[in-house]
Structure 1
């Protein structure tokens, strides 16, 4: 019996040694500088700790002239969406592919966000790392897809 447990334990080690799923807390992101991205989804991962998208942005990315008129959905958490939209900038780094950290699946379900498939066009407002070194990652505050706006910091109000 002991030998069987030893074999099972040894077999599970490779699974434990696999790369950890990336997850970044809010403190890693510059929440004083909202960033605008839009592009086409090239990869979608719909699992916890949060859903993720990889998008490809155009080389001529610009903040839309009508950004102040974009809808801002009411959230249960205190977020001044209109002020964030008014301060939106494009990223200073020129990466064409960005990893977008969305909300946990329970919150995505509360917002009634269907799984977003590769090929879909999305726009997002969110925050990038304070240190612009390393990965091109954004923590998404507002997600715009299929003509709908979703606030991802908290649940719908």
Structure 2
């Protein structure tokens, strides 16, 4: 009996290889992007209550994380916050009256937490705007920014001031607030 070998035409074999490679690429891309999606929602401005700026002040209470995609640390809030943002130097990038008036008018945090987790820009950006190192536990920290929409214990500043000298640091990575919230009444 004569053995017969069936051959797949070259065009179909190439198509099968292309489909297999495409499927592998989609699966690989999915495993990379799926973990990024919650992080983007967690860290992006749309995940925060950008309709109102909030002022916080206190001391850094954890070593946190100094790195990418964002640096994070905890701040124990002062027990007696002023009604609104005290007179502090506004970073050059946010001195446009449309932005600086909003930063200066931010009302103090009145939420339930005595400590907030703070998320700031990665070291390359924070360093570019005035903070070239991790903040130290016990260091003074003041900020104006937004509370997270789904985690009211998470705060993201648009500007912050650190240390005894209240060194200002822009956090919007540009020259305007991500959203110009209405001024408080």
Scaled by the length of structure 1, the TM-score of the pair is 0.72
Name the structure 2 match of 1:3.
none
Following the alignment from structure 1 to structure 2, what is the Cα–Cα distance between the partners of residues 152 and 112?
A: 10
Name the structure 2 match of 1:32.
51
| SS state at 1:106 partner | helix
Gaps of 5+ in 1: 1-16
Superposed CA deviations along residues 23-63 of structure 1, whole A, max 9, x for unmatched, are 42110112221101110111131011111120001222224
Aligned length: 134
Q: CA shift at 1:101, angstroms?
A: 0.9
Name the structure 2 match of 1:53.
73
C-alpha distance 152-108 of structure 1, shift in aligned 2 (>3 A): same
Following the alignment from structure 2 to structure 1, what is the Cα–Cα distance between the partners of residues 78 and 134?
A: 23
Q: CA shift at 1:85, angstroms?
A: 2.4
Counterpart pick for 1:120 among 122, 139, 145? 139
Name the structure 2 match of 1:98.
116
Following the alignment from structure 2 to structure 1, what is the Cα–Cα distance between the partners of residues 124 and 83?
A: 30
C-alpha distance 86-155 of structure 1, shift in aligned 2 (>3 A): closer
Structure number with greater CO (CA < 8 Å, separation at least 6) is 1
Counterpart pick for 2:126 among 92, 98, 108? 108
Q: 1:6-45, aligned counterparts within 5 Å?
A: 23-43=42-62, 44-45=64-65
Whose helix proportion is higher, 1 or 2? 2
Scaled by the length of structure 2, the TM-score of the pair is 0.62
Following the alignment from structure 2 to structure 1, what is the Cα–Cα distance between the partners of residues 58 and 67?
A: 21
Gaps of 5+ in 2: 1-34, 176-185
Name the structure 1 match of 2:14.
none
Question: Is 1:154–2:168 an aligned residue pair?
Answer: no
| SS state at 1:140 partner | strand
RMSD: 2.8
Q: CA shift at 1:21, angstroms?
A: 7.0
Question: Is 1:139–2:159 an aligned residue pair?
Answer: no
Counterpart pick for 2:88 among 70, 77, 98? 70
C-alpha distance 52-45 of structure 1, shift in aligned 2 (>3 A): same
